[in-house]
Amino acid sequence: MQFGIFSVSDITTDPTTGVTPTEAERIQNIVTIAKHAEEVGLDVFALGEHHNEPFFSSSPTTTLAYIAAQTSTLQLSTATTLITTNDPVKIAEDFAMLQHLAGGRVDLMMGRGNTGPVYPWFGKDIRAGIPLAIENYALLHQLWREHVVNWQGKFRTPLQSFTSTPRPLDGVPPFVWHGSIRSPEIAEQAAYYGDGFFANHIFWPKEHTQRMVGLYRERFAHYGHGDPDQAIVGLGGQVFMRKNSQDAVKEFRPYFDNAPVYGHGPSLEDFTRETPLTVGSPQQVIDRTLGFRDYVGDYQRQLFLMDHAGLPLKTVLEQLDILGSEVVPVLRKEFAALKPAHVPDAPTHASLLAAKQADEQKEEATA
Amino acid sequence: MKQRTLVVVSAGLSQPSSTRLLADQLSAAAVTAAAGSGIELTVRVVELRDLAHDIANHLLTGFPPADLKDALDAVAGADALIAVTPIFTASYSGLFKSFFDVLDKDALTDKPVVIAATAGTARHSLALEHALRPMFAYLHAVVVPTAVFAASDDWGADSADGTLAARITRAASELARELDHREPATVADPFALTVDFKDLL
């Protein structure tokens, strides 16, 4: 099982000091955070994409390539790549390029984005979010698998004899996850292609995740990709830890109370009960996280949100230290012991390449 | 007897509340009128005062806490609705509106509804027609023709036989007629897939 962190790239004032990091600081900090994720033994770093303030991450492949150059094992991903407002041709090119530079340590997560005004800036309409996600991804999927593409659709200009370059590394397209909170069409899309499904699993009650993952698993089997429990599932999660749980609650409360998304609303206690947010000791985080399996089954990837709501860099790095030394080693062992042998791990470039070579040998043998 | 459900939403803030009093009289009249049409009504009252914090939290976080979810599900699943608000500043109260703001936009489609309101004087009575009725029309509810307004005067000693009682009875009869010719309410599953993926492609 893969463990990692994901960032929504918000630039938020630290409510305890009133200090707002500059864009320059926050961008350097995210590189430090990603590198530290590898140092503490995490597997994945995923970065969001936004085209409005107060977020800095408009160009994830640039950032991820820079991180790739300074890491050696870290899997680089997104959370999410906007399949609605980006041109699928540019996604195909950018991520194939990143895949080559990073030696295959790349996958990506498709998302629609939820901010109405962003769509028209890119010539799109949020009301067409689902049709955009469906058509654009179908094209992206084709561009990575067919050398010469002739294509016509509703949302972008047609393609005649187009080849997306560079071609995916070793002829193996990056693995794709589809992220959604509560749109059954997206779970269906992930199932149709046999891609991964990632449930955001932060800020929302677990019932959303349970229903969406259940639908995805059922439809994954329907489309003939394997048994329901062989579908590839990722979950988000949000934690804040200190040795003593009271200290964690005390330190995190001002960040919680003033956070974007849920701040000035429910109490920390309400929100930890109603959503997967866990604020407490490392052992509490371990117990809660192991419990996710009870409602989604054995899953392949767990990403934690660690760097939002104005938490200072020093605190985020400390959180990564705790995650890497006390939490993830236990989770790895416990989840591995529970997972049946027929449930696959999250695909990587190496595993996808091995599968491709095995298929090719099988074809040669029968030819 | 056919079995049907009625949810009564009351947005009164004081305790005891004249809004709740009107809601209870409408509810009792609806049970009686429905029984006359061979319908046994099960009544659930939702007091918005008890859900005020939950409603604010839902507006901020995008999802309902458990008690509010239970109330929203009850409204969506009800065969009929009685909605009663105090008139504040020439319209429904903010709490009343916020509850319907967080209700699924399709939850009231084709649902029979009695609208009712309370205020200090009869001068506010048309707020039912210019504020509540359009809001429920927007939500595709079937609002019965009689809207019931109760001012302080209406709670006088002889009100039980007065015009307020007559309006309550008439609205209740209209609601019972709407209930009588409808099938039980059904609730769509938001996570159910309604189209074939190949048709989306």
Tens digits of residue pLDDT in A121-165:
999 999 999 999 999 999 999 999 999 999 999 999 999 999 999
> With an 8 Å Cβ cutoff, are A192 and B66 in contact?
no
Q: Band of the pLDDT at B161, cuts 50, 70, 90?
A: low
Question: Does residue B15 surpass a pLDDT of 90?
Answer: no
Specify the pLDDT at position A205.
Answer: 94
Q: Band of the pLDDT at B198, cuts 50, 70, 90?
A: confident
Domain boundaries, chain A: 2-366
Cβ contacts of A337 within 8 Å, gap of 6 or more: none
CA distance B52 to chain A (A): 12
Question: Does residue B20 surpass a pLDDT of 70?
Answer: yes
Mean pLDDT of all residues in B71-78: 98
CB count, 10 Å around CB of A269?
A: 11
> With an 8 Å Cβ cutoff, are B200 and A131 in contact?
yes
Select from B57, B66, B195 the Cβ nearest to the Cβ of A265: B57
Select from B56, B63, B197 the Cβ nearest to the Cβ of A192: B197
Q: pLDDT digit string (tens) for A245-259?
A: 999 999 999 999 999
Interface membership of A272 toward B (CB under 8 Å): no
Specify the pLDDT at position A366.
Answer: 84
Select from A130, A208, A266 the Cβ nearest to the Cβ of B61: A266
Contacts of A295 in chain B (CB under 8 A): none
Mean pLDDT of all residues in B53-82: 97
Q: pLDDT digit string (tens) for A39-77?
A: 999 999 999 999 999 999 999 999 999 999 999 999 999
Q: pLDDT digit string (tens) for A322-340?
A: 999 999 999 999 999 999 9
ipTM exceeds 0.85, yes or no = yes
CA distance A275 to chain B (A): 10
Interface membership of A134 toward B (CB under 8 Å): yes
CA closest to A211 among chain B residues: B191
Q: CA A306 to CA A309: how far, in whole Å?
A: 9
Interface membership of A131 toward B (CB under 8 Å): yes
Interface membership of B199 toward A (CB under 8 Å): no
Specify the pLDDT at position B157.
Answer: 60
Domain covering A2-366 in this structure, CATH number:
3.20.20.30
Specify burial of residue B89 (Cβ count, 10 A radius: 0-12, 13-18, 19+).
exposed
> With an 8 Å Cβ cutoff, are B61 and A270 in contact?
no
Question: Does residue B193 surpass a pLDDT of 90?
Answer: no
Q: pLDDT digit string (tens) for A105-114?
A: 999 999 998 7
Question: Domains, chain B, ranges and CATH?
Answer: 2-200 (3.40.50.360)
User: Would you mind telling me the total number of residues written for chain A in this entry?
Assistant: 367
Q: pLDDT digit string (tens) for A200-231?
A: 999 999 999 999 999 999 999 999 999 999 99
Share of chain A above pLDDT 70, in %: 100
CB count, 10 Å around CB of A225?
A: 17
> With an 8 Å Cβ cutoff, are A131 and B197 in contact?
no
Specify the pLDDT at position B134.
Answer: 98
Structure-token pair, residue A341: 């042998």
Of residues A39 and B155, more confidently modeled: A39
Select from A211, A265, A271 the Cβ nearest to the Cβ of B191: A211
> With an 8 Å Cβ cutoff, are A204 and B200 in contact?
no
CA distance A285 to chain B (A): 22
Question: Does residue B160 surpass a pLDDT of 80?
Answer: no
Specify the pLDDT at position B159.
Answer: 56
Specify the pLDDT at position B131.
Answer: 98
Interface membership of A192 toward B (CB under 8 Å): yes
> With an 8 Å Cβ cutoff, are B197 and A203 in contact?
no
Interface contacts (A, B; CB < 8 Å):
51
Mean pLDDT of all residues in B167-187: 96
CA distance A364 to chain B (A): 32
Share of chain B above pLDDT 90, in %: 86
Helix axes A282-296, A206-222, angle to 10 degrees: 40
CA closest to A131 among chain B residues: B200
Q: Band of the pLDDT at B51, cuts 50, 70, 90?
A: very high
Question: Does residue B114 surpass a pLDDT of 80?
Answer: yes
Mean per-residue pLDDT of chain A: 97
Interface membership of A264 toward B (CB under 8 Å): yes
β-bridge mates for residue B116, sequence order: B84, B148
Question: Does residue B8 surpass a pLDDT of 60?
Answer: yes
Q: CA A320 to CA A316: how far, in whole Å?
A: 6
Contacts of B62 in chain A (CB under 8 A): 203-204
β-bridge mates for residue A4, sequence order: A44, A303
Interface membership of B190 toward A (CB under 8 Å): yes
Q: Band of the pLDDT at B155, cuts 50, 70, 90?
A: confident
CB count, 10 Å around CB of A117?
A: 9
Interface membership of A260 toward B (CB under 8 Å): no
- Top residue of B98, B195, B197 to mutate, by most chain A CBs within 10 Å, is B197
CA closest to A135 among chain B residues: B201
Interface membership of B66 toward A (CB under 8 Å): yes
